[in-house]
Amino acid sequence: MQKTIIQGRLSHRLRSMAVSTQAAIAVLARRAVGRPLVAEWPFLFEYATLFMREQFNHAFRLSADIDASRAYFDSVYGVLETYPDVEIRPSEPGAPRGHWFIPSQRQSDATLLHFHGGGYAFYAGVSRHFTACLAHTLGVPVFAPDYRLTPEHAHPAQLEDGLAAYAYLLDQGVAPARLVLCGDSAGGHLALMTLARLPQAGLPRPALTIGISPWTDIGRRGASQFGNDPYDLVQGYMTLQFAQWLKGGQNLSDAELSPICQSYQDLGPIYLQAGGREILVDMIRDFAQAVAAQGCPVRLDVWPQMNHEFQSYGSYLPESRQALALLREAIATALGQPNRFDAGTFTELTTYPQGMTSERRDPAPRAAVAAMA
């Protein structure tokens, strides 16, 4: 780890450090007898999966006091890279609450509206770090709204905040043809629900919508939702609790709050990434098929041995490097720029029309332009 953050109350810090030690010992013991959890995983990836899973599990045990639950989850975490080239600044007074993540060198004309993950209930330090990773790696300014969280604020608070953030960027002069809507995990859910609601709100569609391990059905769907529990940091039971908090006791069906049951006609393209070992992979596959059946341009790439949000490992893993590079190419494609976004080894489904991709002739990054339009 390049940097470990230790903060908060002493009892949380001590327990988190004990969990970290136990996770490391468990991984070392498995590997000593030649039985890693997944043969293709490096030590650090397996350790982090076990550590984060137990941190989530204990945070759920504390969820009767959601503030304590969030504080515990943030008490100890590590980052593999820091991004000193990314300036983080709060939105101005009167704007939707959130932060701009602005790279020192801009490599694209796009602006990214990114909704963080955390099951709608957490906005953890690791989520903020991943947003900085996106700004750094993609070379685009990113606005990350601090949308209202459950269980304090049930639906439609998050969707209202998502639409407000989208309208805010348009008001700031970001052209729809340069606007990329993005989200990871529950943030992917919010990105897709926001996209589906744009016509009703009278707002133009973005150049591209990206779902990174998106939560596409708040009910039960697919064998992976519980079958991949041993390999993932997020667990199947958590998705059902997150769904109950999102409903907030209202008489709402799963279908009303699930992207897989929405219409995306004339709202593409949509680019999805998932890990084959994550609990959400089957519902993401089903969502891609449903969107394709509507005639919406969609592409799904799945890395078979990866789990939830493996992209957050930045340059550490070959798979995360490849996934992040493909996000860059997807954005270039959407903006009509030279790109290398042809279907590849991990592409499970694509309905992108021919002609949306073109060979990149200028592999070197373009010269930096203004940090933010």
| Structural contact between residues 279 and 234, judged by C-beta atoms closer than 8 angstroms | yes
Token duo for residue 15: 């327990």
Map out the domains of the chain as residue ranges: 3-79, 86-350
* pLDDT number for residue 352: 87
pLDDT digits (tens, 9 = 90+) for 225-263: 999 999 999 999 999 999 999 999 999 999 999 999 999
* CB of 127 closer than 8 Å to CB of 117: yes
Q: What angle do CA 114, 115, 116 make, to 5 degrees?
A: 115
Q: Whole-number mean pLDDT of the chain?
A: 94
Question: Amino acid identity of 62?
Answer: L
Answer for the pair 348, 281: CB distance below 8 angstroms, yes or no: no
Q: Tokens 């809507």 identify what position? A: 181
Instruction: Specify the pLDDT at position 109.
Output: 95
45 burial level (CB within 10 Å; 0-12, 13-18, 19+): buried
State which fold the 86-350 domain adopts: Rossmann fold (3.40.50)
Cα separation, 171 vs 197, whole angstroms: 18
pLDDT number for residue 176: 98
Q: Report whether 279 contacts 236 (CB < 8 A).
A: yes
Taking a C-beta distance cutoff of 8 angstroms, is the pair 96, 162 a contact?
no
pTM of the model: 0.94
Residue 324 pLDDT? 98
**Six token digits for residue 232:** 């993932």
Q: Which residues pair with 88 in a beta bridge?
A: 101
What is the predicted pLDDT for the residue at 365? Answer: 31
* pLDDT tens track, the chain, 373 positions: 579 999 999 999 999 999 999 999 999 999 999 999 999 999 999 999 999 999 999 999 999 999 999 999 999 999 999 999 999 999 999 999 999 999 999 999 999 999 999 999 999 999 999 999 999 999 999 999 999 999 999 999 999 999 999 999 999 999 999 999 999 999 999 999 999 999 999 999 999 999 999 999 999 999 999 999 999 999 999 999 999 999 999 999 999 999 999 999 999 999 999 999 999 999 999 999 999 999 999 999 999 999 999 999 999 999 999 999 999 999 999 999 988 898 889 999 999 875 455 443 333 332 322 333 3
pLDDT for position 356: 57
Question: Rounded CA gap, 97 and 121, in Å?
Answer: 17
- At 354 the pLDDT is 57
